[in-house]
Structure 1
Amino acid sequence: MRRSHLTLALAIGCLAGLAGAAEPDSFGRLFFSPAERLERDRPRAEAPAAPVVAAPIDLGPMRLDGIVRRSDGTTVIWIDGAPAEPSAAVVGQDGRSATLALPDGRQHHLLVGESVLPDSSR
């Protein structure tokens, strides 16, 4: 009786092993044949390179929204609702104004709440 159970278990184990070996495994790109790799790479090789387009420069008005002094001593200048890079503006001595670097290289002194059009002298 025990021997028949052992034989049955062994037979089932062998059949299960054969069933698993019957279906091909997909191991990915490394194990494809050269023809299959070529076929998979063809759409990528035929795709045209995307043209590089420079982002347009926004010449809308620049507004000095605020100057925030943090408790650790650093100062953040807010221009157009976003914190400015340190190279974009410098706080004035009074602490209520800042000198902004405009996109064309000019500098303009503004009080908090004021704005300037970069393409004009105002």
Structure 2
Amino acid sequence: MKRAYCLVLGLLVTSTTWPAHAASTPLGRLFFTPEKRLTLERQRLSKIQETQTLEGATMSLDGIVQRSSGKSTVWINGRAQDEHDAARTGVSVRLTPKDPGQAQLSPGEESPTQLKVGEAINRATGERNDRLGGGTVKTPASRH
């Protein structure tokens, strides 16, 4: 019984001093600057979203996430948008389930462009760039 009492007392002392120690050690920046985190939190609380427009002569498809719920997120020029969020961003997106590594992007009144993830296009000239700089991506061969 005395041993259990000492154990409980030790856990109690440790648990009361741990938060003070943890609070004095900052985690540092995890993903965004403190200002950006504050802005994102304000947007989340007030349900306001920034209007994003496609800027610059280059349009890139940086990533696609397709969730099992059917909702998708697409990164265009480093900015995330929902698949059906063209009113806010000015770029409509069409995904094809048969080829999940590419999307058809239609910025504003421009003609649609089919891009693979990682590919960029100069909107003025139509020149494509895979952003590998002449290099290649190699993956290990399967062992089957």
> TM-score, with normalisation over the residues of structure 1?
0.47
Work out which of the two has the higher radius of gyration on C-alpha atoms and give 1 or 2. 1
Which structure's relative contact order is higher, taking Cα pairs within 8 Å and 6+ residues apart? 1
